[in-house]
Structure formats: C-alpha cells, structure tokens
Amino acid sequence: MTEPVVPTEAVVRARGVMRIYPGAAGDVAALRGLDIDVRPGEVVAVVGASGSGKSTLLRILAGLDRPSAGSVESFGVALERSTERELVRYRNDVGVIDQQYWRALSPYLSARAAMELPLRLRGWGDPERSARATELLEQVGLGDRGDATPSRLSGGEQQRVAFAAALAPRPRFLLADEPTAELDERTAAELVALLQSLVRREGATAIVVTHDLLVERMADRIVYVRDGRAIAVRHGPDAEAEPIIDASGWRAPALPPPAPSMERVEPAAGTVPAVVVEQLSRTYGSGSAAIHAVRDLDASFASGGLHIVTGPSGSGKSTLLRLIAGLDRPTFGRVLTLGTDLAGLDREALATFRARDVAFCPQAPRLVPFLSALENVELALAIRRAGDTTAARLERARDALDQVGLADLASESPETLSGGERVRVAIARAIAAGPRLLILDEPTAALDRASATSLIAMLARLDRANVTLLVATHDRDLIAAASDRLDLRDARRG
C-alpha cells in the first residue's frame, strides 16, 4: 500500500533524496531516492539497520548537509538550494540531538551553562535563561548537577544535558538521533515523556531516529528505512506495517524478520577470578560538592564468560570499568585485575599492563577522523606494539574488521560510516590485539537489534578460556545473555 500523504499539510516534504559521499573504494550512497512527509505536530520515528541512511537524513533536514539529488522542503525552506544565510535562519528554529552528543558539550561549560548557551545566542535575557535552565535541569533529573562539567557526568548524564540544551530554545522542529541510546529504561521513559510534552504543549514537530521500542510506542508514525530508501510505514504502535510503493511503481521489499534472541553465554570452567574489587570507592571533589561515583563496593568476576555491570544512569558503571582497566585510581579500596594489584603499578607500568592484557572500548568511542577504518585498527595495534611487522598488524586489523562485519568498509573514513558502524570499528580496534580482558561500555547502544545480536554472538565466540568479557549496559537482551550480572542500583552517588 502506498503511504497516504496529504501534501498541502506536510511541513516536511522530501522526494527522491540521494546523498552520495566520495570514498576511498568508490562513492558511497547513504540515501538512494528516499521519500518522506511529516505533518505539523507529528512525532515520526525512523527505524532501520546501521548504515541505512537514518543519520544522513537527519543532517539534511537539520540544514547541516545537502542532498546530492532530489528535493527537500522543510517549513517552507527548500534546503537543497537555500543560501547559507537562509540555512542559518532556518537552523535557529531546529533543535538537533546528535547521536554523538558530546559534540554539543564544551568540556569547560557546566550543565547549566550548556543549556543557557543556545538561549544567549538567541538573545534571551538573564532571568529567562536562568529560569529555563532550572526548569530543564529538573525535567531531565539533574536538578542538583547544574554546576557539573562533562568530566564529572556519566555518559547518560551528558546525553541528558545535550538533550535539554537542544530543547532549551523551544524549537518548532526537533531532530533526535538515538536520544535514549545510553539511558536506563526509567530515564529513557522520562525523556520520551519530555519530548512528547514539547511536541504536544508547544506545537513542535519531531523526527526521531531510534532502535528503542519506548520511542516507537510514543510515535504517531514509524517509517522503516533500508539501503537509503523508505520501505514501510506503520501508523501508530499497534498498527500493521504497510509496504511503500512509490510514484514509479517500485514496491519496497518486505521488512526483515525480527532478530533472534541472544543465547546465554556460559562462563568458563576456570575458578581463578579475572577481576576482584574490595571496598572500592571513587570520589570526585570534596566537601558538599563531592560526587561519590562508586562507594564501598565489593565484587568479583570469574575468568571467562560475559559479565554485565548494570544500573541507572549515573550509578557508577563507567567509573567502575575505568578503575578496573587502570585508567583511573580509586579514592579508597583495592583493584586486582588479572591477578595484578593495580595500586602497585606506576603510570608506565599500568600502560604496559593494559597494552599487553586489557582492551577498553569506552562509551561514545572516538576514531581518528583522517584515518580509514583499517588504519584506525592498525594504529591501535602499533601503539600496543602488537604484531612484529606491518604485514602482521595489517592481517590482524583486517581479521578484526571482518569479525565485526565491516570487511567491505575497511577503506572508508569514519565520516562516511554510520554511528553503529563507527562503534563496530572501535570494538574491532579493541579485540584486534587479543586481550585477556575485554571491557566494553554500552557496546550495543547505537546498534539495531540484528547488529547487536550479531556483535554479541561474535564476542561470545571468543576463547572463553583465555578472554573475559566485562560489559556495562542497559540493553535488556544483552543482560539476559550474560553469565552473571552486577547491579549498581544501590550504589548511586551520595
């Protein structure tokens, strides 16, 4: 069935949109004739696999990129042929929540200042800016964290700050790329409610790229994309998906079947623990401003298997992983990683220990933008001195990219990859050196279900007798597949 469209009512109307990026191995088509309409006051969820063109569509609708072909009219502005001055005026009414949310946060600005900055740029007065920032801090659950800079916020808390900063000017058009990806279910539900409130109360319109069923359930329509084209639409969470037939008669392929459930990863038979923490605490700051990221924690993780650390945003998951990897030092307590007491190692010895035995893939991993995917993995191996020759490192890097399903994109730069593909490059970079302890922070947050299932299946195939997986996540399917779980729900900041 053709998607029903009332053109005169659409505030966004895209037809035949193509976006082609030059790549080292040839041009890469992110969008291949995509059509979409959005009506006033709608919340439209855009769903599709990693690399299907979702983020590219948002960048074009935000006026941050232009289509290679086709037409895009948004709120009366023809984006494909507008001048830069016209695009600047257009962007003043658009709120963008980027998948790479840290780009919106200055390391020198507090959460409150980050929310006030877009208002200052638009000429809001001091009282209005302060009142709006206070309102948003409360709404995103950070009422007592307004003075904290990004370095003192968890990844989920940073994501909430970026979300609030995008909402601050009350945009009439909101574009959000995976806004709940790194949030626990309760916080995600609160942010979804906040987005609904903005749209319903203030007459805004929103397009949300998501893999989150919470977002899908609150959307007015769900548009499915594949290979750069819209293939189906669902009008509300309980309706059946209808395949799209375009004006030329092209009929979209059927939706892919749901990804199978992840199988539980059995622990290895070894009895020696890979990680032990005793009375572990990490406090930032002092006095009334002190932040207790981890407090009096005792835990151990057996060698082999898939071990999960979970808990609400801000409960200390990322801090715990960094302490175990030796990337941070505890305020009090003891960390034994792979039988080594990290307190006995100086900075150089810690670096040597990590290079030999530990790989860490952080929340929101960064890649070197001017290197290809393959070169990013090779660089990590060279820094670790893993592989005796350039040829050996190259072979290991190619094998790691193949394991995460990116062999065909080895020559591409990070800028031409989707968010999910960039995450997989970072994971390839982590596994390439063959670590004994592999630590991953929210590895599936930016991935669709099929890609997440495939990734975890690949990790489960690693030699459990020699590799221990330690993962922080909110992903319910990943938690269900784990050998065991440490819940930090009762270890939140004091």
- Of 153 and 37, the structure prediction assigns the larger pLDDT to 37
65 alpha carbon, distance to own chain's centre: 21
Q: Are residues 239 and 288 in the same domain?
A: no
pLDDT at 3: 44
Rg (C-alpha) for the chain, rounded Å, is: 23
pLDDT reading at 493 higher than 50: no
Q: Are residues 54 and 147 in the same domain?
A: yes
Return the structure tokens found at 8: 């005169």
Alpha-carbon distance of 461 to 455, in angstroms, equals 10
Residue 173: other Cβ atoms inside 10 A: 21
pLDDT reading at 42 higher than 80: yes
Looking at the domain assignment, is residue 130 inside a domain? yes
Alpha-carbon distance of 117 to 134, in angstroms, equals 13
Averaged pLDDT of the chain: 85
Which residue range forms the structural domain that includes residue 71? 7-243
CA-CA distances (angstroms) from residue 229 to 41, 74, 223? 24, 19, 10
Mean pLDDT lowest for which of 7-11, 56-60, 205-209, 413-417? Answer: 7-11
Q: What is the mean pLDDT of residues 89-116?
A: 88
Looking at the domain assignment, is residue 351 inside a domain? yes
CA-CA distances (angstroms) from residue 336 to 11, 145, 275, 361, 434? 58, 32, 6, 20, 20
For 328-341, b/e burial (b = at least 16 CB within 10 A) is bebbebebbbbebe
Mean pLDDT lowest for which of 52-56, 273-277, 391-395, 475-479? Answer: 475-479
- Of 279 and 21, the structure prediction assigns the larger pLDDT to 279
Q: What is the mean pLDDT of residues 320-341?
A: 94
| Model confidence band, residue 298 (pLDDT cutoffs 50, 70, 90) | very high
Mean pLDDT lowest for which of 140-154, 175-189, 466-480? Answer: 175-189
Give the percent of the chain with pLDDT over 70. Answer: 92
Alpha-carbon distance of 288 to 156, in angstroms, equals 23
| Model confidence band, residue 390 (pLDDT cutoffs 50, 70, 90) | confident
Q: Are residues 98 and 46 in the same domain?
A: yes
Give the length of the chain.
494
| Owner of token pair 């005793």 | 278
pLDDT at 60: 94
Q: What is the mean pLDDT of residues 189-203?
A: 81
Looking at the domain assignment, is residue 143 inside a domain? yes
* Domain-ending residue, one of 221, 243, 265: 243
From 159, 213, 192, 145, select the one nearest 43 (Cα to Cα).
Answer: 192
Number of domains in the chain: 2
* Domain-ending residue, one of 226, 243, 260: 243
Mean pLDDT lowest for which of 217-226, 252-261, 275-284? Answer: 252-261
Looking at the domain assignment, is residue 30 inside a domain? yes
pLDDT at 268: 66
pLDDT reading at 2 higher than 60: no
Give the DSSP H/E element, type plus range, for residue 28: strand 28-38
Residue 477: other Cβ atoms inside 10 A: 15
Rounded to 10°, the helix 419-431/373-384 angle is: 30
Q: What is the DSSP string of 311-339?
A: -STTSSHHHHHHHHHTSS--SEEEEEETT
| Model confidence band, residue 4 (pLDDT cutoffs 50, 70, 90) | very low
- Of 133 and 247, the structure prediction assigns the larger pLDDT to 133
pLDDT at 247: 65
pLDDT at 491: 46
Amino acid letter for position 44 = V
pTM, two decimal places? 0.75
Phi, psi torsion values for 266, nearest 5 degrees: -75, 145
How buried is residue 201: exposed, middle or buried, by Cβ count under 10 Å (0-12/13-18/19+)? exposed
Looking at the domain assignment, is residue 223 inside a domain? yes
pLDDT at 437: 93
Q: Are residues 223 and 287 in the same domain?
A: no
- Ramachandran area for residue 337 (φ above 0: left; ψ -120 to 50: alpha; else beta): beta
Mean pLDDT lowest for which of 332-341, 345-354, 472-481? Answer: 472-481
* Domain-ending residue, one of 192, 227, 243: 243
Alpha-carbon distance of 395 to 386, in angstroms, equals 11
Alpha-carbon distance of 211 to 47, in angstroms, equals 6
Alpha-carbon distance of 159 to 140, in angstroms, equals 10
Looking at the domain assignment, is residue 119 inside a domain? yes
- Of 375 and 49, the structure prediction assigns the larger pLDDT to 375
Alpha-carbon distance of 347 to 328, in angstroms, equals 10
pLDDT at 213: 79
Looking at the domain assignment, is residue 460 inside a domain? yes
Give the percent of the chain with pLDDT over 90. Answer: 38
From 493, 442, 137, select the one nearest 315 (Cα to Cα).
Answer: 493
Q: Are residues 237 and 327 in the same domain?
A: no
Alpha-carbon distance of 333 to 297, in angstroms, equals 8
Cβ-based neighbours of 285, under 8 Å, separated by 6 or more: 152, 291
Q: Are residues 180 and 221 in the same domain?
A: yes
pLDDT reading at 253 higher than 50: yes
Alpha-carbon distance of 135 to 354, in angstroms, equals 43
Q: Are residues 326 and 236 in the same domain?
A: no
pLDDT at 25: 61
Q: Are residues 305 and 229 in the same domain?
A: no
Alpha-carbon distance of 108 to 104, in angstroms, equals 12
| Model confidence band, residue 262 (pLDDT cutoffs 50, 70, 90) | low
Q: What is the mean pLDDT of residues 456-480?
A: 82
| Model confidence band, residue 329 (pLDDT cutoffs 50, 70, 90) | very high
Are residues 300 and 273 in contact, defined by beta-carbon separation less than 8 angstroms?
yes
pLDDT reading at 69 higher than 60: yes
Looking at the domain assignment, is residue 251 inside a domain? no
Q: How many helices (H) and strands (E) does the chain have?
A: 14, 20
Q: Are residues 452 and 309 in the same domain?
A: yes
Q: What is the mean pLDDT of residues 481-490?
A: 83
pLDDT reading at 123 higher than 60: yes
Q: Are residues 208 and 108 in the same domain?
A: yes
| Model confidence band, residue 386 (pLDDT cutoffs 50, 70, 90) | low
CA angle 27, 446, 94 (to 5 degrees): 80
Alpha-carbon distance of 393 to 391, in angstroms, equals 5
Strands laid side by side in the 484-487 sheet: 358-361, 437-441, 468-472, 306-310, 484-487
| Model confidence band, residue 26 (pLDDT cutoffs 50, 70, 90) | low
Q: What is the mean pLDDT of residues 300-319?
A: 88
Q: Domain with 100 in it: what CATH number?
A: 3.40.50.300
pLDDT at 398: 93
Phi, psi torsion values for 262, nearest 5 degrees: -75, 135
Q: Are residues 281 and 233 in the same domain?
A: no
Q: Are residues 223 and 131 in the same domain?
A: yes
For 289-302, b/e burial (b = at least 16 CB within 10 A) is eebbbbbebebebb
| Model confidence band, residue 270 (pLDDT cutoffs 50, 70, 90) | low
